[in-house]
């Protein structure tokens, strides 16, 4: 028996019910920063955003600003943006290129790998006895890339990135990276919501809300009915809380969809061209696997990265228990024709982001859900995540495991169950020992 099966402090896996105070409680939030964001491999940027030496991009690990920078030897460093002298920030731009990071307070100067390389009047005032090597910028304990996606963890005990992602996390990134050599398109959509970050994460698995929340987008033709595929859903659950949930094609269906674009210029043909046709190309099935190649779902890389079907990923960055920033990174395969590129960028600009047709209608739902979690009376009442609980089975195809069913809440339950296990584990060794393996059989 593992710890999670014994513990239902906030989330009860037997009933699929959740204590909604996890969305507002300040103590729980502080614990999330240490137990989840402080331990996890956090996506910080894509290598194409910092191609040259000295290029940097300001990102976050949890609620804390980090500088992701390309060093002169080509390596990528993830530095805490805080001078060890008085704590001032040493970088105030969101992106750019620099030779060093210079503190505007007293002039301490840091190399691209964070090493302290200069201090005004070092000999005069510190009498030449200061050990600069001990006073560089703090940095991530581990930095690694998977197919150009740069991740960092503050925890030296975290397993290697490849192992952390596991086949489900890797598949989630492969579903984007498999489209070709990727480059981030200039410009990250950023906006701030008055909601808890987990409600935004939970939503990526939610194919129940689409018809209601995004009804206008469906009527405008932006979301063809069949792309929601309410009756043919596939959920893939991975170690440490990763998952993929959404439409799942039946074996053989992919080839038919991939041929739809021939002679058809309708919106949904374009959609299927973008989502399905590339998967029929040589080598893609081998890379994604028999199950993965049939998933048109939303990958979630725990804790807060969503890989979206619009060639985008979205980070849900906590800015306090009641506030979240959404950051949309948009990727384009370099081989696209100018016309394909325009179409794909149109989709990215118009589906998501604060003015996006779909996303406009999400924010208020999440902020009001957060507000409801903080009520004296409403906050005391549990939330229901029981859709499909105990009614589906994990199957296997080509060595990959998935649940094939109708619209469900397996992905959300898996997220909260893992969230709880991360929160209750004292450290990485304990999490690895007590964390639930992805389920088998009845779920």
In the complex, minimum distance from the CB of residue 405 to another protein, in angstroms, rounded to a whole number: 26
Q: Which stretch binds another protein (CB under 8 A): 22-30, 79-87, 112-120, 355-363?
A: 355-363
425 vs 251: CA distance, rounded Å = 40
Q: Which stretch binds another protein (CB under 8 A): 3-11, 45-53, 216-224, 401-409?
A: 216-224
Helices (H), 247-316: 253-259, 267-275, 284-292
Close Cβ partners of 342 (under 8 Å, ≥ 6 residues apart) = none
Among 136, 169, 363, 435, binds another protein (CB under 8 A): 363
Q: Which stretch binds another protein (CB under 8 A): 76-84, 209-217, 278-286, 403-411?
A: 209-217
Question: Per CB under 8 A, does 216 bind another protein?
Answer: yes
User: In terms of C-beta density within 10 A (0-12 exposed, 13-18 middle, 19 or more buried), how is residue 74 classed?
Assistant: exposed
Among candidates 314, 170, 293, which has minimal Cα distance to 234? 293
Q: Token pair for residue 113? A: 């790998």
Question: Per CB under 8 A, does 95 bind another protein?
Answer: yes
Residues 25-54 that bind another protein (CB under 8 A): none
Give per-residue burial for 25-39: e unless 16+ CB within 10 Å, then b: beebbebbeebbbbb
283 vs 56: CA distance, rounded Å = 34
Question: Per CB under 8 A, does 212 bind another protein?
Answer: yes
Question: Per CB under 8 A, does 369 bind another protein?
Answer: no
Q: How many of the chain's residues bind another protein (CB under 8 A)?
A: 44
In the complex, minimum distance from the CB of residue 220 to another protein, in angstroms, rounded to a whole number: 5
Question: Per CB under 8 A, does 55 bind another protein?
Answer: no
Question: Per CB under 8 A, does 191 bind another protein?
Answer: yes
Query: One symbol per residue from 317 to 346: x for binding another protein (CB under 8 A), - otherwise; what is it?
Result: --------x--x-x-----------x--xx
Among 310, 367, 370, 402, binds another protein (CB under 8 A): 367
In the complex, minimum distance from the CB of residue 198 to another protein, in angstroms, rounded to a whole number: 17
Determine if residue 180 is left, alpha or beta; phi over 0 gives left, psi from -120 to 50 gives alpha, anything else beta: left
Among candidates 35, 26, 4, which has minimal Cα distance to 416? 4
Contact by Cβ (8 Å): 414, 243: yes
Close Cβ partners of 188 (under 8 Å, ≥ 6 residues apart) = 327, 328, 329
Question: Per CB under 8 A, does 267 bind another protein?
Answer: no
- Footprint of another protein (CB under 8 A): 92-98, 185-194, 212-213, 215-217, 219-220, 325, 328, 330, 342, 345-346, 348-350, 353-355, 357, 359-361, 363-365, 367
């Amino acid at each position: 028996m593992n710890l999670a099966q014994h513990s239902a402090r906030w989330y009860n896996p037997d009933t699929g019910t959740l204590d909604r105070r996890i969305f507002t409680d300040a103590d729980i939030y502080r614990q999330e920063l240490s137990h989840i964001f402080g331990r996890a491999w956090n996506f910080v940027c894509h290598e194409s955003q910092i191609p040259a030496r000295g290029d940097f991009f300001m990102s976050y690990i949890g609620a804390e600003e980090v500088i992701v920078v390309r060093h002169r030897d080509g390596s990528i460093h993830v530095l805490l943006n805080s001078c060890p002298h008085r704590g001032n920030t040493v970088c105030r731009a969101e992106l750019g290129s620099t030779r060093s990071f210079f503190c505007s307070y007293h002039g301490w100067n840091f190399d691209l790998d964070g090493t302290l390389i200069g201090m005004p009047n070092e000999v005069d005032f510190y009498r030449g006895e200061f050990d600069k090597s001990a006073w560089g910028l703090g940095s991530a304990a581990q930095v690694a890339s998977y197919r150009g996606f740069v991740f960092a963890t503050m925890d030296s005990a975290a397993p290697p990135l490849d192992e952390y992602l596991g086949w489900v996390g890797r598949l989630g990134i492969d579903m984007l990276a498999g489209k070709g050599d990727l480059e981030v398109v200039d410009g990250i959509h950023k906006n701030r919501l008055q909601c808890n970050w987990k409600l935004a994460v939970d939503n990526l698995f939610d194919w129940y809300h689409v018809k209601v929340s995004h009804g206008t987008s469906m009527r405008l033709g932006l979301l063809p009915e069949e792309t929601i595929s309410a009756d043919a859903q596939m959920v893939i659950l991975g170690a440490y809380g990763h998952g993929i949930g959404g439409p799942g094609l039946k074996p053989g269906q992919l080839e038919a969809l991939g041929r739809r674009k021939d002679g058809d210029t309708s919106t949904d043909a374009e959609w299927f061209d973008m989502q399905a046709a590339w998967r029929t190309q040589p080598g893609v099935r081998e890379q994604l696997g028999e199950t993965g190649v049939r998933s048109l779902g939303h990958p979630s890389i725990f804790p807060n990265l969503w890989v979206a079907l619009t060639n985008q990923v979205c980070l849900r960055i906590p800015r306090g228990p009641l506030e979240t920033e959404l950051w949309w990174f948009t990727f384009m395969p370099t081989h696209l024709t100018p016309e394909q590129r325009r179409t794909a960028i149109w989709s990215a600009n118009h589906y998501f982001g604060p003015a996006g047709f779909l996303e406009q209608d999400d924010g208020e739902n999440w902020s009001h859900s957060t507000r409801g979690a903080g009520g004296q009376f409403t906050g005391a009442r549990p939330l229901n995540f029981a859709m499909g609980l105990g009614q589906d089975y994990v199957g296997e195809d080509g060595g990959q495991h998935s649940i094939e069913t109708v619209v469900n809440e397996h992905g959300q339950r898996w997220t909260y169950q893992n969230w709880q296990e991360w929160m209750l584990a004292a450290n990485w060794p304990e999490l690895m020992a007590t964390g639930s393996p992805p389920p088998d059989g009845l779920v």
